[in-house]
Structure 1
Amino acid sequence: MDQQPTIGILHPGSMGAAVAACAKQNAASVLWCKDGRSTASTERAAQFGLTPVTALGELLDRSEIVISLCPPAAAEDLAHDVAAHDFTGVYVEANAIAPERTQRIAALLAAATVVDAGVVGSPPARGKSPVLYLSGPANATTRIEALFAGTDVQTKTLGAKVGKASALKLAYASFQKTSRVLVALAVGMAREHGVDQELIDVASRRTDSYLSEPEYIAKTAARAWRWGPELEEAADTLAAAGLPPEMLRATASTLARWNDAKDDSELTLTDALKQLAQP
């Protein structure tokens, strides 16, 4: 394995540029393609010391490892562009996309070795140290681990199956990002009625993440028959305040799948999840 491979980054957004800067510590150089990119991208690339090239083909011809970090909607189109150039190196698909899309991209890039990746955490700057989860062929994931060794990007390999890293990324994002929106709705509702500070005081008494308490899912299922209607009332209150009620109505609809578990104190986590998966 080359000790200092040449890396290509697609593209230097806020996350991509910071990740590329970390990779640069163990690379001969990090290339980026300036064709069609914004002034902000150019400034970020310069700030992190990335080397510009004029065309995608040049980047692919010179790079042994390419890291794709772009908006999720663009991930497959970008992979198609790369496939058209018959790239044969390691392609790190690090976008927040569904496992099925990652697997389609792996099939599309048949000439390359595809590593599935997911970044959990903030861009590696100002003391932040995200984790880059990896899954794919062992020889390729080992190269990516070496690329980020000793940098602010931590790596953790989940196995050889492409799609596992993407699944972990989206599972975490589904909780973390939805929770942030729920905070906005809850504070907005409380502020409309002049009790937002009291709401914050109540919440400050509990700081643990519900995501770390999966055993509570069975208790949630047993109480769903009461919680669903309560959230419908909350949705009505949001609507009256001019705030969007759809998220709470969707949550109430999800809880309805557990109506048959009413007050079932013997329900297990496995049974609760099985019921949740049934319409």
Structure 2
Amino acid sequence: MAEPTVGILHPGSMGAAVAACAATNAARVLWCSQGRSPASAARAEQAGLTPVSTLHELLDQSGIVISLCPPAAAEDLAREVAGHAFDGTYVEANAISPDRAERIASLLGPNTTAVDGAVVGSPPVRGKTPTLYLSGPTAATTMVEAVFVGTAVRTRVLGTQVGQASALKVSYTAFQKASRVLAALATGMARQYEVDQELLEVAARRSTSYLAEPEYIPKVAARAWRWGPELEEAADTLAAAGLPPEMLRAAASTMARWHDAKDDSDLSVADALEQLAEP
């Protein structure tokens, strides 16, 4: 089988790192520079990606396209791709609900083979090895798996149904990210009553508690702009399953208080908690 050309939409921190791994086995990995920021261009260059000027060029030359973008943009991006009648494999790898993954597969049209994807773990840099979970037609998932053989991105096929990979992602998101929000709220509450150190002592007796890791709170704040929409997707999934979504919606709303902390690597615990306490 000839090595495919892969297109990445769009090279954020996760997308660029995943694309760099794909370049190990792909003929080329393309990205569209039109309308993208200097930061995106720098990431793409560092990852060794090949720039093209327009989305049409990227789609025309790619056999596989991987969509890795903020959840809120996933559907609009897929709709834009559908407008070009793309006839390859489209990996919808964003943190979205299963219903939304199925909707995107439908709007892509009959010429496009839709694969549901979900990345669990940190970007594949500095020894990190995330897993790309896949679900969809067997021939397509096999082709996507081949792109990542021998790289830091591990793959696992969950089945042939679009929506399975997204279901796993939002199920993991529901606990993994909401629990960190709850830890921040609990710490902030205790701090108001000057018992935060005592709370840490209590939490430290359970080594698996995020309450024992207050240094993680600024990292949550810096990622809130991405995690909030992911929690909304998880809430949609709970509602679709007949389960109460209010806790996750409240967690997403809480993250909105960190809107000024986007990607701030210098944020302290005190600063993050101060922002959390402001309406």
Same fold (TM over 0.5): yes
Shift of 1:39: 0.7
Distance 1:28 1:209, change over 3 A: farther
What is the CA deviation profile of residues 129-148 of structure 1, one whole-angstrom value per residue up to 9, with x for unaligned ones?
A: 11111000011111111111
Instruction: Tell me, in whole angstroms, the C-alpha distance in 1 between the residues paired with 2:276 and 2:157.
Output: 41
Amino acid at match of 1:127: G
Amino acid at match of 1:61: D
Shift of 1:13: 0.4
Shift of 1:209: 7.1
Amino acid at match of 1:161: Q
Shift of 1:194: 2.1
Q: Aligned runs of 1:173-252 on 2, under 5 Å?
A: 173-208=173-208
Structure 1 partner of 2:112 = 112
Q: Which runs of 5+ in 2 are unaligned?
A: 211-273
Distance 1:98 1:206, change over 3 A: same
Instruction: Tell me, in whole angstroms, the C-alpha distance in 2 between the residues paired with 1:201 and 1:58.
Output: 57
When normalised by structure 1's length, the TM-score is 0.74
Q: Aligned runs of 1:135-150 on 2, under 5 Å?
A: 135-150=135-150
What is the CA deviation profile of residues 197-240 of structure 1, one whole-angstrom value per residue up to 9, with x for unaligned ones?
A: 22122112213479xxxxxxxxxxxxxxxxxxxxxxxxxxxxxx
Q: Aligned runs of 1:17-32 on 2, under 5 Å?
A: 17-32=16-31
Instruction: Tell me, in whole angstroms, the C-alpha distance in 2 between the residues paired with 1:106 and 1:29.
Output: 25
- Max Rg structure: 1
What is the CA deviation profile of residues 55-101 of structure 1, one whole-angstrom value per residue up to 9, with x for unaligned ones?
A: 00000000000000011111111111111111111100001111111
Instruction: Tell me, in whole angstroms, the C-alpha distance in 1 between the residues paired with 2:167 and 2:209.
Output: 20
Shift of 1:105: 1.1
Determine if contact 2:13/2:123 at 8 Å carries over to the other structure: yes
Residue 48 (structure 1) aligned with residue 67 (structure 2)? no
Structure 1 partner of 2:86 = 87
Amino acid at match of 1:56: L
Shift of 1:107: 1.1
What is the CA deviation profile of residues 6-65 of structure 1, one whole-angstrom value per residue up to 9, with x for unaligned ones?
A: 100000001100000010111111000000101110010011111100000000000000
Distance 1:242 1:134, change over 3 A: closer
Instruction: Tell me, in whole angstroms, the C-alpha distance in 2 between the residues paired with 1:128 and 1:242.
Output: 30
Shift of 1:118: 0.5
Amino acid at match of 1:11: H
When normalised by structure 2's length, the TM-score is 0.74
Tell me how many residue pairs correspond in the alignment. 215
Structure 2 partner of 1:78 = 77
Structure 2 partner of 1:98 = 97
Question: What SS does the aligned partner of 2:152 have?
Answer: coil
Amino acid at match of 1:76: E
Distance 1:192 1:162, change over 3 A: same
Instruction: Tell me, in whole angstroms, the C-alpha distance in 1 between the residues paired with 2:4 and 2:62.
Output: 8
Question: What SS does the aligned partner of 1:58 have?
Answer: helix
Amino acid at match of 1:137: P
Aligned-residue CA RMSD (Å): 2.0
Question: What SS does the aligned partner of 2:65 have?
Answer: strand
Structure 1 partner of 2:9 = 10
Shift of 1:196: 1.6
Amino acid at match of 1:6: T
Q: Which runs of 5+ in 1 are unaligned?
A: 211-240, 245-279
Structure with higher RCO (Cα < 8 A, 6+ apart): 2
Determine if contact 2:203/2:209 at 8 Å carries over to the other structure: no
Structure 2 partner of 1:235 = none
Structure 1 moving runs of 4+ over 4 Å: 241-244
Greater shift in the superposed pair: 98-107 or 193-202: 193-202
Determine if contact 2:119/2:130 at 8 Å carries over to the other structure: yes
